[in-house]
Amino acid sequence: MTEEPTSREDYWEGSPLQMVLGLDPYGIEEIIIEFDTGDEEVLKPQMREEFGSYELWEAATYLGTLSRQLGG
């Protein structure tokens, strides 16, 4: 028997390219980065309960830097 993955209403996994498909970027309260080692890094907004556009831009810049460092 194959178990289906548990789906959570508040969970989304994808890439920024999928934003074109209509994903609303508002309401993002945290970004969780899971590493192959099992470690996690949780990014939360500093000023509000939800990320604003500038904070999302900064998070994207951080993720780009992180991926370049880990990739090579």
Residue 14 within a domain: no
Total domain count for the chain? 1
DSSP assignment of 23-68, as one string?
---TT---EEEE-TTS-EEEE--SSSSS--HHHHHHHHHHHHHHHH
Answering whether pTM is above 0.85, one says no
Residue 39 within a domain: yes
Residue 51 within a domain: yes
Give the domain extent around 37.
25-71
- Banded pLDDT at 8 (limits 50, 70, 90): low
Q: What percent of the chain has pLDDT over 70?
A: 64
